[in-house]
Amino acid sequence: MYCRILINGVVQGIGFRPFVYNIALKHNLKGYVLNRGDAGVEILVKGSKSQIENFIFSLKNHKPTLARYETFVIEYNPSPSSSDHKTFEIAPSSLTRGSAGSYIPPDLPICEKCITEMKSDPRRVNYPFTSCVDCGPRYTVITSLPYDRPRTVMEEFPLCPDCLVEYKNPADRRFHAQTTCCWNCGPRYYLLDKFGNVIFDKEDFQNNWLDVAKILDEGNIIAIKGIGGTHLASCTVNDDPILKLRRWKGARGDKPFAVMSSNLDRVRIFAEYSPAEAQLLQSLTRPILLLEKKHDFPLSPFISPRLHNIGVLLPYAGIHFLLSENITDPALIMTSGNPSNIPILIENEEIQQQLSSVADYFLLHDRQIYQRADDSVMRFHKVNEEGYPLLIRRSRGYVPEPIQLPWTSSNITVLALGAEMYNVGALGIGGRCFPTQHIGHMTTIENVDFFNSTIEHMKELLGIKSLDALGGDLHPQFLTTQKGQQLASENNIPFFQFQHHFAHLGALALDAKVDPQEKIICVALDGTGYGEDGTIWGGEILYGNYSEYKRLAHLEKQILLGGDQAISQPYRVLLGILLSDFSLEDITAEFKRIPWLSWIPQTSSYPLIGKQLEKIMFHRSSGGFHKTSSCGRLLDAISVLLGAAKNRTYEGEPAIKLESFAEKALDKSISLEFKLSSITTADGMVEIQTSPLIHNIWEYICRNYQRERIALAAEKAIARKFAEVALDLANKHGASKIGMSGGVCYNRVIFTEFYEYISKYGNANSIISHKRIPCGDGGIAIGQVPLIQAKLV
């Protein structure tokens, strides 16, 4: 008898056909297995009923580690085959697509067996592109489906006779491994100096690669083309190359650099990690993970200035192992090779042109990167012994894996455009959401082009021909908003706009797999989100589900003196708050008296700000000024007041430095009292008063309390107040689930204090949190997808 099996899920790019081939032979079956154009697999087997049943049992219960089945359709005695199958074979791929849709796995780190071969196999000793069915690039090299070598950038590198033997051998782990290659047939690296002169070419790299490690040891910066883009690499003990990188990056300011170590033992030299964090570092996603610095931090202080933590990742490509194992320093700087707000560079000529003013050398290879992908970034929190791995940036190692949507039977296809900062796009097709890799800030033509090309590539991979609807942010000036309006007009489909923090609610509910009908309490804390009332939101307590949502509470609205200038110069927010209780003369006198605040009256803009403040004082009104309920801006103001930061040179800097400042508190067990009250406004909204908090901090400063201790206590007070109000509102509205979203989630003190309070005074089972979707703006587009679909189902 015959049996046809159609499987969708993750079944291409993981050695699935070789797996099927071998178990078919084991059960003495005839027929074929082939890849389909929708990334699924079709199997036809001929044999007895018991043979086929045993085969299906093996398919379901002994599948490869990376395989995932989302649909498994069995059809006995299908239409007769056109040929009599006398053997079992891996048949040529078909372009046929079904309605279920599958997906290829993300790029995978080099496996231990391949690392061993890089030290022992004559054809692969020190060969940087060594890979097999269990490892190597996937998403960044594939050009179209089904996943076969001719549809990847490896088409340019025909297999040598030895590799071909492995590729065709069912007993070899490179059996149908599409990216396999060796020194004789694969891509190669070559080294150039900053002027483009060849130091050693592709033929010489095999014998000279150790020179690259020596060049790094000498304090040079090397632009290294990798799997999903280019890194700028340098040593980590010598300050000079790191300062050179900072000068060149310009707009980056004090933003920390990530470092790469060859193994966990070397990481232990400069950072602390828990078993859970070690597991994340070694996982298949190989993210950059924020770890706490050792007290006697031996690396340059300019890597992550005035921070208590450092971003660390382990090698995931062969070239990383070669270099990180052979340098003197315990780690390498590995920062993205691109000017600020420009996509990571992937073309050799462009890499040389754009980076020649910072890189001393270029280590390039001749394999095309079809899709760029930045490293993913994570942070790990612990609450009551439970671990919370939080994604900051979801990119390499995750994309193009989907996230399950609440409507599994929906045939609606939508595109979410996200917001502006740290943006990704997301496609919703059927019951799954497919986020793109990290795009970045949608403020440059280059990033917009990157966004457009990535969406088109994912649509092609997923077989999407048309869209039913679009979604984006409420902000009228975002480029994503303008693009949504344009696409909606061109395709005659609706474009739905969602307030920024309602998308955070959608992302949190989706991440926690909340039932579509159930309403949750979402505490959305971040820096900026254009509000429905025209003010800037960012300290919100929301209630709802995917189809209905409303704002229940928020922080007290504070004045943003100078509008956007108050974001880059957060002392402006501080001045606006202090004015409610103090005169300008008193504020100025106190600033001059306090060493870490004496710089404020000396700023060139202070006289103008003073006039604005006097106007407010005279009229006792803030009419005509921008206002915000942002928690991010509140933390910025506290950071300035306590001397943890001055201006903002990168996104979130004052608040990030405030957290590190608080970590230095001498006695973390002793808390301080803060007056954080709440009132009910005329429109029935709960408003958490923040001016008294700033005044309390001012009083503690005047009483000479340790500033770090004040910072820690203030962060805890903010978290507790939000938790208290959230619990009250949950009880009032009958919500059984409470969670937090937004960029403030990455603050360890606020996150842990919030969830510990909810667990202690509420119901531990009511807690929901992010784990698979970024808490910050990298999750906005993902949260928009179910909100769009809810408008249509």
Is the pLDDT at 103 greater than 90? The verdict is no
Between helix 631-641 and helix 707-733 the angle, nearest 10°, is 160
Does residue 390 or residue 95 have the better pLDDT?
390
554 or 625: which carries more pLDDT confidence? Answer: 554
Q: By the 8 A CB rule, do 532 and 476 touch? A: no
Measured over the CA atoms of residue 789, residue 791, residue 792 and residue 793, the dihedral's sign is positive
pLDDT value at residue 722? 98
Mean pLDDT, residues 402-416: 87
621, pLDDT greater than 60: no
Give catalytic status of residue 709 as yes or no: no
Average pLDDT, the chain: 93
Please compute the mean of the pLDDT values over residues 386-396 and round it to a whole number: 97
- Inform me whether the pLDDT recorded for 623 exceeds 70: no
Question: Looking at 4, 8, 17, 432, which residue is catalytic?
Answer: 17
17 included as an active-site residue: yes
Q: Are 685 and 557 in contact (CB under 8 A)?
A: no
What is Dmax (Cα atoms) for the chain? Answer: 95
Q: How far apart are CA 693 and CA 319, in angstroms?
A: 51
Tokens for 245?
Answer: 């990188």
Q: Specify the pTM.
A: 0.94
The predicted structure's pLDDT at residue 79: 78
User: Quick check: 39 pLDDT over 90?
Assistant: no
Mean pLDDT of 743-767: 93
**Integer Cα distance of 572 and 724 in angstroms:** 29
pLDDT tens for each residue of 107-149: 999 999 999 999 999 999 999 999 999 999 999 999 998 899 9
Per the CB < 8 A criterion, the answer to whether 304 and 282 are in contact is no
CB atoms within 10 A of CB 767: 20
Quick one: average pLDDT of 401-418? Answer: 89
Q: Is the pLDDT confidence value at 381 over 90?
A: yes
- pLDDT at res. 765: 77
Q: What does the pLDDT average to over 5-15?
A: 88
User: Where is average pLDDT lowest: 201-210, 518-527, 752-761?
Assistant: 201-210
Residue 83 has pLDDT above 80, yes or no: no
Q: How far, CA to CA in Å, does 236 sit from each of 13, 216, 249, 258? A: 36, 10, 17, 10
Of 187-201, 585-599, 736-750, which gets the smallest average pLDDT?
A: 585-599
Which of 186-195, 243-252, 629-638 is least confident? Answer: 243-252
> HEC states along 660-701?
HHHCCCCCCCCCCCCCCCEEECCCCCEEECCHHHHHHHHHHH
**Which pLDDT score is estimated for 409?**
63
Least confident of 126-140, 492-506, 562-576, 723-737: 562-576
Catalytic residue among 8, 35, 220, 338: 35
With 90 as the cut, is the pLDDT of residue 485 above it?
A: yes
Tell me the per-residue pLDDT of 177-231, one tens digit each, with 9 for 90 and over: 999 999 999 999 999 999 999 999 998 998 999 999 999 999 999 999 999 999 9
What's the Cα-to-Cα distance from 400 to each of 66, 91, 149, rounded to whole Å?
A: 14, 26, 19
Q: Is the pLDDT of residue 618 over 70?
A: no
